[in-house]
């Protein structure tokens, strides 16, 4: 008997139907020489600290770092898991061969290998490796089963990732919680989570520090076309008025007229991150929701395997494309024009060198009715992107006109779509406003047609002053955060360049959504409309972490590249593990010897998987009472009825009132005043009877002032 192990009951049912195992048993299907059973995702996990040593159950600084000699696995504590594993264990023990039918990716490989390891499997193992769950794909997969050894590197990479996350997460979380935490809450640190938070905090600080400034620009209308002066923005209205007076003295003269034809290349097929970005921009879906919807579509056989990081197809798929397009009946009006001639084998679509385990996400051709609304929207994104890839390029014409008024240069640019090409696929889409979009993928070009101008022509014009304000950096949305994770924090607009940088991205496409959700649950970040902001807790945590190894997206991206090299057999798992152990040891020594600084920690994490709803701000829990007096540096501060004061107040005399300059201070603000010599920016401070914004500072003589 051959035992097939799938990752979900629904997938097991599909496989059993195709291979003829149609008799339902307790926990498996049987028939035609096969037994088909399943897990429910992860059945095993790495052992917890207390599984190695009882003393590691308590969180103590003196026990850190915790580095097991050998890492072990255990079953997850769940009655359903234990029962189903018992069934798998019996089937595996009695079989002649095991067929690993887990999801064809790193996580799927890890799930199945751990189960087989725990079950002490002695039978030979084959691997089913397919990119969709259609009947044809499953049949072909069973005809071309692979030896399990071919995927040893994939398993090694998954193991290295899990061990790395354990080493850093377990040790750093305990380290920072015990060194800097207050109360019972936990300061969660993670290999990918922390640099992601650091990117958000850095953006938050840039926004907070930004001071908007007024500026003025000179514009003029000539032949019903508005031109903008190409000089630097003017900083005062007086200069703008002088410039306007100058412009009124001279005619407008055309100095250059240039018209160029160009093309807008077709958008790339979707990888998982690209799909999550587009769904967030168009529908405000979270990355986690999009992953759930596309996974459901995959299990319904409607799309290919979704947890991919490539935007290309393997070249052997080219002969099948026409058939898939032909089967997409609801999109017949869009597919008809490209089915009238052979499908081109475009290098921008088909490239074996750009495909590793799986190709980009595309439809399978199957399309049932009655999809849930959200899944229908995701399917529509995938289907139209697939169709658009085979349309002609969009042909455009760009016109640039330069002119002068006296000595002041002016410019205007116009763009006209000559042949819409692939944009016809999106012609009937409802355009949804997205103020934080980079207006890149599959969006309509704003047309602006300019008349013909002759070089040297001149005439009257109507100048004016345009007043504007400088804008702060935009906060992250999930779309822009996913792109930042993909490129290790670097701003990269070019699709080809992004493709090259994916090996250095932080996290994997399949895990980034979970990382973002974890940050929400820990209350390190919050969402306002579509924008993501760091909470005070998140900012305090990043400020406390001095090690760049924990915060740097670029350095974390280097680790990710090594994990991918392990997957390709180009880097040793043991070397990666040794490097992480050394890093954890160095980090532990550094933090243990660092200056003590308490940190405000939010309340317990939320228990839902949804984005936190807006709640009333809770009183901060940090207390300055654990700090040393800044004046005498010998005694701690103590809380009195109206102030924090030196415990040796009768001699030292230092105190910080709860209220200063008409503002009741939080414990965090008082702690900042004591440790950083100033608070953050406060509104409505009363100075000499007048209200003003500013920071309260600790002066050289240990009094208080406002700056």
The rounded distance, in Å, linking the Cα atoms of 259 and 12 is 60
| 65 occurs within a structural domain | yes
Q: What is the dihedral of CA 245, 247, 251, 257, to 10 degrees?
A: -170
The rounded distance, in Å, linking the Cα atoms of 64 and 435 is 47
- The answer to whether residues 16 and 132 belong to one domain is yes
Question: Number of helices (H) and strands (E), helices first, in the chain?
Answer: 22, 28
- The answer to whether residues 459 and 404 belong to one domain is yes
The rounded distance, in Å, linking the Cα atoms of 431 and 390 is 23
CATH number at residue 43: 3.40.50.140
The two beta strands, 682-687 and 690-694, are antiparallel
DSSP per-residue codes, 469-507: E--PPPPEEHHHHHHHHHTTT-----HHHHHHHGGG-SS
pLDDT of residue 13: 93
Q: Could you tell me the CA-to-CA distances from 594 to 435, 588, 597 in Å, in that order?
A: 43, 10, 9
The rounded distance, in Å, linking the Cα atoms of 330 and 340 is 17
Q: Are 265 and 396 in contact (CB under 8 A)?
A: no
pLDDT of residue 703: 81
Write down the residue that tokens 């067929």 correspond to.
99
> Which residues, in sequence order, are CB contacts of 365 under 8 Å at separation 6+?
323, 324, 325, 326, 327, 328
- The answer to whether residues 39 and 83 belong to one domain is yes
The rounded distance, in Å, linking the Cα atoms of 280 and 298 is 20
| 20 occurs within a structural domain | yes
The rounded distance, in Å, linking the Cα atoms of 261 and 528 is 42
Q: Which long-range contacts (CB under 8 A, 24 or more apart) does 548-551 make?
A: 549/583, 549/587, 550/168, 550/172, 550/189, 550/194, 550/195, 550/587, 551/194, 551/195, 551/198
Write down the residue that tokens 């030896």 correspond to.
147
| 37 occurs within a structural domain | yes
> Which residues, in sequence order, are CB contacts of 329 under 8 Å at separation 6+?
367
Domain boundary among 330, 355, 388: 388
- The answer to whether residues 645 and 674 belong to one domain is yes
| 583 occurs within a structural domain | yes
The rounded distance, in Å, linking the Cα atoms of 304 and 320 is 13
The rounded distance, in Å, linking the Cα atoms of 640 and 638 is 6
CB atoms within 10 A of CB 219: 18
Closest by Cα among 682, 632, 684 to 655? 632
CATH number at residue 295: 1.10.290.10
Domain residue limits at 442: 214-266+394-469
pTM: 0.76
> Which residues, in sequence order, are CB contacts of 604 under 8 Å at separation 6+?
185
- The answer to whether residues 377 and 404 belong to one domain is no
pLDDT of residue 445: 44
DSSP per-residue codes, 367-404: --S---HHHHHHHHHHHHHHHHTTSPPEEEEEEEEEEE
DSSP per-residue codes, 118-149: HTT--S-EEE---S--SHHHHHHHHHT-EEGG
User: Can you name the residues that pair with 521 across neighbouring β-strands?
Assistant: none
Upper half-sphere CA count for residue 19 (Cβ side, 13 Å): 29
Domain tally, the chain: 5
- The answer to whether residues 122 and 185 belong to one domain is no
| Catalytic (active-site) positions | 305
Closest by Cα among 334, 344, 357, 343 to 271? 357
Angle between helices 272-283 and 478-486 (to 10 degrees): 160
- The answer to whether residues 124 and 19 belong to one domain is yes
Structure tokens at 186: 């936990």
Write down the residue that tokens 């994990």 correspond to.
563
DSSP annotation of 466 reads E
Q: CA angle, 668 as apex, 662 and 672 as ends, to 5°?
A: 85
Write down the residue that tokens 């080493």 correspond to.
167
Q: Are 203 and 383 in contact (CB under 8 A)?
A: no
Q: Which long-range contacts (CB under 8 A, 24 or more apart) does 625-629 make?
A: 626/182, 626/596, 626/598, 627/598, 627/671, 627/674, 627/675, 629/654
- Phi, psi values for residue 471, rounded to 5°: -105, 145
- The answer to whether residues 227 and 301 belong to one domain is no
Residue 408 host element (H or E): strand 408-419
- Phi, psi values for residue 160, rounded to 5°: -60, -40
Q: Could you tell me the CA-to-CA distances from 193 to 292, 450, 484, 502, 525 in Å, in that order?
A: 20, 49, 13, 18, 11
Domain boundary among 469, 493, 518: 469
pLDDT of residue 237: 96
The rounded distance, in Å, linking the Cα atoms of 396 and 505 is 33
| 112 occurs within a structural domain | yes
DSSP annotation of 63 reads G
CATH number at residue 516: 1.10.460.10
- The answer to whether residues 428 and 325 belong to one domain is no
- The answer to whether residues 356 and 223 belong to one domain is no
The rounded distance, in Å, linking the Cα atoms of 440 and 445 is 10
Angle between helices 509-521 and 478-486 (to 10 degrees): 130
The rounded distance, in Å, linking the Cα atoms of 501 and 503 is 6
| 605 occurs within a structural domain | no
- The answer to whether residues 318 and 280 belong to one domain is yes
Mean pLDDT by 10 residues, the chain (707 residues): 94 95 95 95 93 94 94 92 95 97 90 96 96 91 96 95 93 91 80 93 94 95 96 96 97 97 94 95 94 93 92 92 94 94 93 86 88 94 97 95 97 94 88 46 61 96 96 95 86 62 78 92 92 92 86 83 91 93 91 70 41 36 64 73 73 80 85 86 77 83 81
| 611 occurs within a structural domain | no
CATH number at residue 411: 2.70.20.10
Closest by Cα among 43, 45, 31 to 7? 43
- The answer to whether residues 78 and 14 belong to one domain is yes
Structure tokens at 384: 């139209």
| 188 occurs within a structural domain | yes
Domain boundary among 417, 442, 469: 469
By CB atoms closer than 10 A (0-12, 13-18, 19+), residue 13 is middle
């Amino acid at each position: 008997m051959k035992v097939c192990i799938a990752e979900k009951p629904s997938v097991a049912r599909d496989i059993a139907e195709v291979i003829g195992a149609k008799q339902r048993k307790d926990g498996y299907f049987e028939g035609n020489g096969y037994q088909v059973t399943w897990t429910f995702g992860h059945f095993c996990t790495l052992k917890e600290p207390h599984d190695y040593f009882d003393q590691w159950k308590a969180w103590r600084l003196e026990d850190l770092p915790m580095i097991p000699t050998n890492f072990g696995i255990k079953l997850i504590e769940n009655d359903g898991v234990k029962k189903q594993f018992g069934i798998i264990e019996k089937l595996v023990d009695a079989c002649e061969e095991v067929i690993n039918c887990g999801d064809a990716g790193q996580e799927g490989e890890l799930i199945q290998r751990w189960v087989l390891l725990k079950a002490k499997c002695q039978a030979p193992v084959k691997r089913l490796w397919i990119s969709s769950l259609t009947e044809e794909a499953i049949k072909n997969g069973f005809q071309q089963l692979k030896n399990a050894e071919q995927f040893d590197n994939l398993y090694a990479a998954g193991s290295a990732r899990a061990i790395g996350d354990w080493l850093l997460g377990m040790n750093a979380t305990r380290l920072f919680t015990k060194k800097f935490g207050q109360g019972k809450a936990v300061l969660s640190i993670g290999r990918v989570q922390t640099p992601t938070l650091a990117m958000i905090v850095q953006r938050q600080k840039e926004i907070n520090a930004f001071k908007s400034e007024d500026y003025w620009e000179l514009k003029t209308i000539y032949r019903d076309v508005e031109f903008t002066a190409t000089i630097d923005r003017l900083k005062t209205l007086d200069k703008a008025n002088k410039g306007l007076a100058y412009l009124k003295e001279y005619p407008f003269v055309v100095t250059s007229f240039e018209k160029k034809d160009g093309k807008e290349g077709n958008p790339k097929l979707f990888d998982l991150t690209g799909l999550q970005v587009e769904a967030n921009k168009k529908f405000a879906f979270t990355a986690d929701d999009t992953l759930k919807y596309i996974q459901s579509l995959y299990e319904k056989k409607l799309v290919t395997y979704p947890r991919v990081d490539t935007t290309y197809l393997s070249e052997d798929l080219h002969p099948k494309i026409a058939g898939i397009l032909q089967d997409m009946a609801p999109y017949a009006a869009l597919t008809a024009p490209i089915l009238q001639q052979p499908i081109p084998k475009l290098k921008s679509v088909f490239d074996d060198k750009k495909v590793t385990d799986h190709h980009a996400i595309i439809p399978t051709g199957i399309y049932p009715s009655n999809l849930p609304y959200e899944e229908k929207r995701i399917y529509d994104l995938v289907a139209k992107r697939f169709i658009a890839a085979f349309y002609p390029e969009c042909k455009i014409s760009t016109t640039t006109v330069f002119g002068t008024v006296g000595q002041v240069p002016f410019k205007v640019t116009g763009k006209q779509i000559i042949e819409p090409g692939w944009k016809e696929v999106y012609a009937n889409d409802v355009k949804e406003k997205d103020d934080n979009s980079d207006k890149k993928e599959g969006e309509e070009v704003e047309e602006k047609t300019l008349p013909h101008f002759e070089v040297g022509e001149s005439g009257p014009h109507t100048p004016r002053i345009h007043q504007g304000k400088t804008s702060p950096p935009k906060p992250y949305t999930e779309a822009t955060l996913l792109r930042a994770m993909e490129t290790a924090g670097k701003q990269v607009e070019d699709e080809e360049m992004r493709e090259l940088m994916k090996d250095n991205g932080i996290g994997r496409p399949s895990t980034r959504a979970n990382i973002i959700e974890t940050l929400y649950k820990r209350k390190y970040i919050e969402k306002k409309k579509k924008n993501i902001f760091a909470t005070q807790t998140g900012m305090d945590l990043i400020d406390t972490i001095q090690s760049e190894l924990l915060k740097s997206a670029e350095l974390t991206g280097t680790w990710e590249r090594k994990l991918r090299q392990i997957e390709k057999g180009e880097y040793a798992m043991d070397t990666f593990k040794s490097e992480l152990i050394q890093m954890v040891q160095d980090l532990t020594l550094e933090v243990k010897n660092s200056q003590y600084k308490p940190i405000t920690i939010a309340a317990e994490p939320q228990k839902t998987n949804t984005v936190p709803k807006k709640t009333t701000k809770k009183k901060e829990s940090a207390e300055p009472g654990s700090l040393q007096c800044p004046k005498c540096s010998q005694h701690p501060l103590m809380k009195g009825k109206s102030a924090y004061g030196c415990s040796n107040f009768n001699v030292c005399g230092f105190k910080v009132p709860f209220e200063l300059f008409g503002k009741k201070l939080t414990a965090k603000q008082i702690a900042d005043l004591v440790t950083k010599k100033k608070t953050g920016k406060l509104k409505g401070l009363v100075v000499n009877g007048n209200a003003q914004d500013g920071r309260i500072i600790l002066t050289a003589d240990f009094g208080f002032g406002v700056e």
